[in-house]
Amino acid sequence: VFRRSLSTFSLLLFLLSLALAYQPVKVRYGVHKEKVRIVLDLPKKVPYRVFTLKSPYRVVIDLKSPSLRIKSLRLPKSFRYKVGKHPWGVRLVLLTPRAYKPKAFYVERPTRLVVDLYRGKARAVKRKKRKKVFKPYTIVVDPGHGGRDPGAIGYGGIREKWVNLRIAKYLAYYLNKDPRFKAVLTRRGDYFVSLRRRALIAKRHKADLFISIHADAAPRKNPRARGTTIYALSYRGAVSTKRKLVKDSRLARKLLSPDATDYRVRYILSDFGVRATLENSTRLARLIALEMKRVLKREVHFKGIRRRNFLVLKVPGTPAVLVEVGYITNPTEARRLRSPRFQKKVAYAIYRAIVRYFNFKPYRGVYLVERSLRRSKAKVAR
Ligand SMILES: [Zn+2]
């Protein structure tokens, strides 16, 4: 269960944080005989990282400066791309039709980062080296409620805060077993943590993803209400707020900044970063839905994906979802939510979704856990 009343206010805060001085980046290209040259026009020299991935072939360009925004982007027709806004800066992923060997360097006056993509495969030796320096993705796992805030009280007195923590801990366990991830819990025991503090934890750890775990309760504890709902940050909400702000310049000045002209508001809201964050939240929500259906099968009644703006999801630049795992007011679902086997399965499904989100294959060490789950299921069936 979560609070809705703060929604509009929290979205505005979200936008406010984005309104802080941005610095535009232009991306253009040139095709030469032996290479494709990608040129990034930058306002200043910033730390960067360029590396490649395969299946599918990708060239990843990380620009480490939180104030950068990609303003315009021109790329060869055969390239597709994704832009990700992160707390540390901007990630541009080029999906290339073939393997390229990148070489990056700066050119001054004006400042440009040149990334030359040479045809020809990167050598296997180099790839091994890269694996060693791979920095794991930080996933912030947020068990709802805690301490003096018990969340919903369900069938047989089961408490939401307890269920949330159990599932979150299993999820952190799976993630930490996989060297490609690092899980950070917003609380590790039964104590109170404010919503603002949870968002701050994500910001401090430069979270790549934020996942909040909750369980639902029906009004008047109606025992028939059931099902799983996943919430992603709302794009439509952002668009309607945009309209409101563009129409009402006095409100915009008050909420964004004293010099928030219509142009500025429009610019902020059409920002690539905002759109990428919202789209990535929805993509993650869809993957969680798919994996929950795959792992839990008939044990999950899926109600759908909804989009909403709420405070815990307001981590600028970090795609975020909130999972209402089931109804603790429903006797059947309460029994499942209480069982460690079910809790593990839910956590495992979310782990699988995260793996797919980053276009990874499941890690072998975590696959073993899935096998042990299958065994325990077989035991139950007997
Ligand atoms: Zn809740």
What are the tens digits of pLDDT across the range 91-129?
999 998 888 899 999 988 889 999 999 986 545 444 544
Q: What sign does the CA torsion over 374, 375, 376, 378 have? A: positive
What's the CA-to-centroid distance between 2 and ligand 1, angstroms? 5
Give residue 335's pLDDT: 94
What's the CA-to-centroid distance between 329 and ligand 1, angstroms? 12
Give residue 257's pLDDT: 52
What's the CA-to-centroid distance between 94 and ligand 1, angstroms? 38
What's the CA-to-centroid distance between 293 and ligand 1, angstroms? 22
- The pLDDT of 183-206, averaged and rounded, is 90
What's the CA-to-centroid distance between 273 and ligand 1, angstroms? 28
What's the CA-to-centroid distance between 324 and ligand 1, angstroms? 7
What are the tens digits of pLDDT across the range 55-87?
888 999 999 888 888 888 888 888 888 888 888
- The pLDDT of 321-326, averaged and rounded, is 93
Q: How many helices (H) and strands (E) does the chain have?
A: 11, 15
Beta-bridge partners for 213: 143, 323
What's the CA-to-centroid distance between 181 and ligand 1, angstroms? 26
Contacts of 163 (CB under 8 A, 6+ apart): 215, 325, 328, 337, 338, 343
The answer, yes or no, to whether residue 287 has pLDDT greater than 50, is yes
What's the CA-to-centroid distance between 216 and ligand 1, angstroms? 6
What's the CA-to-centroid distance between 151 and ligand 1, angstroms? 5
- The pLDDT of 277-301, averaged and rounded, is 90
The answer to whether 192 touches 186, Cβ cutoff 8 Å, is no
What's the CA-to-centroid distance between 202 and ligand 1, angstroms? 18
The answer to whether 241 touches 308, Cβ cutoff 8 Å, is no
User: 163 vs 152, 153, 194, 337, CA distance in Å?
Assistant: 10, 11, 18, 7
Which helix (H) or strand (E) segment holds residue 104: the answer is strand 100-107
Structure-model confidence comparison of residues 67 and 323, the more confident one: 323
Q: How confident is the model at residue 196 (pLDDT cuts 50, 70, 90)?
A: confident
The answer, yes or no, to whether residue 270 has pLDDT greater than 90, is no
What's the CA-to-centroid distance between 213 and ligand 1, angstroms? 8
d(CA 56, CA 114): 23
What's the CA-to-centroid distance between 190 and ligand 1, angstroms? 14
d(CA 276, CA 120): 31
What's the CA-to-centroid distance between 146 and ligand 1, angstroms? 10
